[in-house]
Each structure stands twice: as C-alpha cells, then as structure tokens.
Amino acid sequence: MSTYHYLECANHNPPLLSDDEVEQHRDTETLDKVRELVRNRATIVPLLREEKIGLPDDRYLENALRFLVFHEHCKVNLVTEYDEREELE
Ligand SMILES: [Zn+2]
C-alpha cells in the first residue's frame, strides 16, 4: 500500500504543503534522506543556490529540495496523505 509523503511549512497559515510528494511509501531509505535534507538545509540550500551542487538524481529528493529552497528558515514537517505529521526539528 502506498502512502504519499509531503513536506509542510508550518510557518504559513494555513500550513503550506509541497506540490510534489517526497516519497510514496513508509519506512524507506529515501525518507531518511529527506529527513536529513530538511535538517541540513541551512548548509545544502546555499550550496545549491550558488550552483556548487546540483539537484539530486532522486526524484523525491529533488522535490524535497525544490520545496526547501523556498522554506530555508521555516519550520518544516513531514506529513502523509493521511495527515500524520512528523516534526523534524
Ligand atoms: Zn515557509
């Protein structure tokens, strides 16, 4: 059974959801990488902006990073299509 996951910015009211999913299943390695991206975005987003790194090959990580570029300093949660919410910080 698939479970779509999205990133959510809690600084917006109502919270803003990423347009694209960052994973379609639970408990995957990709989800761990998404969590890591969120936690390390203060380092990663500037590198991306300065074109010192490119977007990840993985479609889900790319979706996550595209969202994080606009929410570099916001409180970002991981949510599922069933509105389960995981705070990452
Ligand atoms: Zn935001």
Phi and psi dihedrals of 79, rounded to 5? Answer: -130, 155
Residue whose structure tokens are 């994973």: 23
pTM over 0.85: yes
Distance 42 CA to ligand 1 centre (A): 14
Distance 54 CA to ligand 1 centre (A): 22
Distance 33 CA to ligand 1 centre (A): 20
pLDDT in tens, 11-64: 999 999 999 999 999 999 999 999 999 999 999 999 999 999 999 999 999 999
**pLDDT of residue 84 exceeding 90:** yes
Written as six digits, the tokens of 77 are: 């949660």
3-state secondary structure (DSSP) of residue 67 = helix
Distance 3 CA to ligand 1 centre (A): 23
* Residue 36: C-alpha distances to residues 13, 30, 40, 68, 82 (Å): 25, 10, 6, 12, 22
